Structure 1
Amino acid sequence: MVDGRQRQRRTATALRVGLGLVAGISFVILVMRDVHLAQVTALLHEAKLLPLLVAIFAFVADFLLRAVRFWIMLRQTSDRDLPLGPTVGPFIASFGISDVLPLRLGDGFRVVWFSRQFNISAGTVIGTMIVERILDLVTIVILGAVALALVEASTKAELLLPLQLSLFVALVGGLSILFVPALLARLIERLSRGVSSALVTMFVSALKSASAAMVQVGSWRKVVKLTAMSLALWVLESIVLLGAWMSLGQPAEDLLKPFLAFAFSTLGTLVPSLPGHFGAFEFFGLQAFALVGVDAPTALAVVLLAHLILWAPTALFGVGWLLFAAPEKPQPVA
């Protein structure tokens, strides 16, 4: 029985890795199909330094704010007075690990490290990470909807409607999980009664886990504060793509275009892809830029430059932290 379960887990792992590779390579092929690398390279050679420095500064501030948000949520869900300092390094390192290894192994590292370091149950850490993901989804959808509403799209209205509907459904679902999690879980469970689909069962189970995690956070006022913090950090991260846009000499009056591309590139990372989200990030960013009439070489140059800034610092930090950070003793908690 144990051997059978191990084989099933290995098979599932191999399938997930294979799906990510196939999807990521497919996205790369689609991106490169209509773009000449020589044009993209020529544009990248003209990049200006100052906007990139602003982008890097914003990215550092973004991740520090992310670490503080996770620390606040972990304190609330575990009901312990945790120190902030020892949580920042491994939190950022977990993103770097996921940026270079498949299967989002950085998430597993974060669960194990925080659980052992602070003597917190793995379930509590996982629940906190679920809340983190829900907050991120809701806030990036909000930013995407705002950008889509404000930008002048150069495509036909009928092509915009599916995007608007998708953002609306995601926003309503995310806000429901944030503010009425238990009610939403009961509603979905009742609607799914009598349905034997494994997919529906898995969805209901995931929704219950998300609802339980949100209940742990506490009052709706705390949720509002965490949502506001999430909006702030995603705006900071969007400056990376805006900085890449300005660095390549694109007009400042068109900043809504890279802002829209940032939102859709980020949402595209929900799709399985290569480690670091390479492939999916570029593909969905190019689709958003095409929506607002930006030519493919310029769009790809901007997205690649932004993606490098988003990937390299955390990847290098994660590898460096694993190699050189001294093992820390478990922290005493109140």
Structure 2
Amino acid sequence: MVDGDQLLRGRFNTTLRVGLGLIAGAAFVVLVLRDVNLAEVSDLLQRATLAPLFLAVLAFVADFLLRAVRFWIMLGQTTGRSLPLGPTIGPFIASFGMSDVLPLRLGDGFRVLWFSRRFGISAGTVLGTMIVERILDLVTIVILGAGALMLAEVSAPAALMRNFQLVLVVALAGGLGMLFVPALLSRLFERLFRGVELSIASSLLSALKATSAAVLQVGSWRRIAVLTVISLALWILESLVLIGAWLSLGGSPDHLLQPFVAFAFSTLGTLVPSLPGHFGAFEFFGVQAFALVGVDAQMAVAVVLLAHVILWAPTAIFGISWLLFGAYERVQRPT
């Protein structure tokens, strides 16, 4: 049983994390808007054309369907079982929608719980699959961002350029390092709690071992190569949302690398604690990347805001709708 002190500490830690995210997100919003003429931003948004936005939404739908298929492939590889594709798509997308409206990425916890109960898979295995998924996302967006940054015409000071290059290096190193974290933690816990009968410790150790096994199971070179190609494809699809917003607001079709660079760094910015839906961090890093390639601040803010709404609203609406009307799918017994 959990005693009162542990419960209070848990509540305090949760409140602290939510509070820090809100403060950081609000600070990012202030930094973005402090030197921007909001009237000009509003005027730009009112002149948006619909055709590029329609294509952006289609690309986003294709992106998330491909993400769901990738997770289904990875989960099947990890478990060695042939899982049905249909029942995985709805809850997979809904988990992102929940994280878009709730703090602490609670949608991730929902995904672990739902797939564990629905398919009779251990929570550690689902979590391990999600870790590899996030590593693939991080590594591929870094590759795309680095490539776009090398090809784009940069008009920023050398010091700012070095900062962006450092972000790429740190993100890549962090993503690759995550592959080894579950295995290292499981070994550490084995040594710390050897011979100690604690239900919480044994449960945590079992989860870490299952996570480590899932990482190793997914991580063969051939499988990683296939999954990397899929990951590159889905990130290119998602980048079309920001490119669509750029074209909708009058951006030049001859300078598509500019919104692509902004997309890469705004996406990496979502790793930083912020408001639910990554509002604040997404805008700040996207606007800074636009500045790096010489785009006007008002145009940058308008494009990033418009793209963020397209990236946020569909999954948020789907997540809420699935919770309200898809309850029949949330069975408790394994298939």
Q: Structure 2 length normalisation: TM-score?
A: 0.88
1:116 deviation in Å? 0.8
1:293 deviation in Å? 1.1
Question: What whole-Å deviation, never above 9, does each CA across 1:193-225 have from its counterpart, x for those lacking one?
Answer: xxxxxxxxxxxx9x9997654212142100111
Residue 110 of structure 1 corresponds to 111
Q: Structure 1 35/110 Cα, relative in aligned 2: closer, same or farther at 3 Å?
A: same
Question: What whole-Å deviation, never above 9, does each CA across 1:68-125 have from its counterpart, x for those lacking one?
Answer: 0000111111222110000000000000001011111101111111111111111111
Within 1, Cα distance between the matches of 2:175 and 2:108? Answer: 21
1:277 deviation in Å? 0.4
Residue 80 of structure 2 corresponds to 79
1:2 deviation in Å? 1.4
RMSD: 2.4
Contact 1:177–1:211 (CA under 8 A) maintained in structure 2? no
Within 2, Cα distance between the matches of 1:41 and 1:169? Answer: 36
Within 2, Cα distance between the matches of 1:177 and 1:103? Answer: 19
Matched ranges for 1:9-48 at <5 A = 9-48=10-49
Contact 1:141–1:170 (CA under 8 A) maintained in structure 2? yes
Matched ranges for 1:1-334 at <5 A = 2-172=3-173, 174-175=175-176, 181=180, 212-328=213-329, 329=331, 333=335
1:37 deviation in Å? 1.4
Q: Structure 1 9/176 Cα, relative in aligned 2: closer, same or farther at 3 Å?
A: closer
Amino acid at match of 1:263: A
Within 2, Cα distance between the matches of 1:113 and 1:226? Answer: 23
Question: What whole-Å deviation, never above 9, does each CA across 1:282-304 have from its counterpart, x for those lacking one?
Answer: 00001001111111110000000
Residue 198 of structure 1 corresponds to none
Bigger mean CA offset, 55-64 vs 164-173: 164-173
Amino acid at match of 1:272: P
1:272 deviation in Å? 0.3
Contact 2:125–2:210 (CA under 8 A) maintained in structure 1? no
Contact 2:125–2:213 (CA under 8 A) maintained in structure 1? no
Within 1, Cα distance between the matches of 2:278 and 2:59? Answer: 20
Q: Structure 1 length normalisation: TM-score?
A: 0.88
Contact 2:103–2:276 (CA under 8 A) maintained in structure 1? yes
Percent identical across equivalent pairs?
69
Within 1, Cα distance between the matches of 2:178 and 2:109? Answer: 24
Contact 2:60–2:311 (CA under 8 A) maintained in structure 1? yes
Within 1, Cα distance between the matches of 2:85 and 2:332? Answer: 14
Contact 2:291–2:297 (CA under 8 A) maintained in structure 1? yes
Contact 1:130–1:213 (CA under 8 A) maintained in structure 2? no
Contact 1:98–1:275 (CA under 8 A) maintained in structure 2? yes
1:175 deviation in Å? 4.8
Amino acid at match of 2:137: D
Q: Structure 1 152/324 Cα, relative in aligned 2: closer, same or farther at 3 Å?
A: same
Bigger mean CA offset, 168-177 vs 279-288: 168-177
Contact 1:131–1:210 (CA under 8 A) maintained in structure 2? no
Aligned length: 314
Residue 200 of structure 1 corresponds to none
Q: Structure 1 120/142 Cα, relative in aligned 2: closer, same or farther at 3 Å?
A: same
Within 1, Cα distance between the matches of 2:93 and 2:76? Answer: 18
Within 1, Cα distance between the matches of 2:299 and 2:172? Answer: 30
SS of the aligned residue for 1:81 comes to coil
Contact 1:64–1:88 (CA under 8 A) maintained in structure 2? yes
- Structure 2 unaligned runs (5+)? 189-204
Contact 1:76–1:218 (CA under 8 A) maintained in structure 2? no
Within 1, Cα distance between the matches of 2:288 and 2:37? Answer: 17
Residue 193 of structure 1 corresponds to none
Q: Structure 1 331/232 Cα, relative in aligned 2: closer, same or farther at 3 Å?
A: farther
Question: What whole-Å deviation, never above 9, does each CA across 1:148-197 have from its counterpart, x for those lacking one?
Answer: 1011110122321232233134335545766xx59x977xx99xxxxxxx
Contact 2:122–2:210 (CA under 8 A) maintained in structure 1? no
Question: What whole-Å deviation, never above 9, does each CA across 1:248-268 have from its counterpart, x for those lacking one?
Answer: 011011100000000000000
1:8 deviation in Å? 1.0
Within 2, Cα distance between the matches of 1:11 and 1:215? Answer: 35
Moved over 6 A (4+): 207-210
Bigger mean CA offset, 210-219 vs 243-252: 210-219
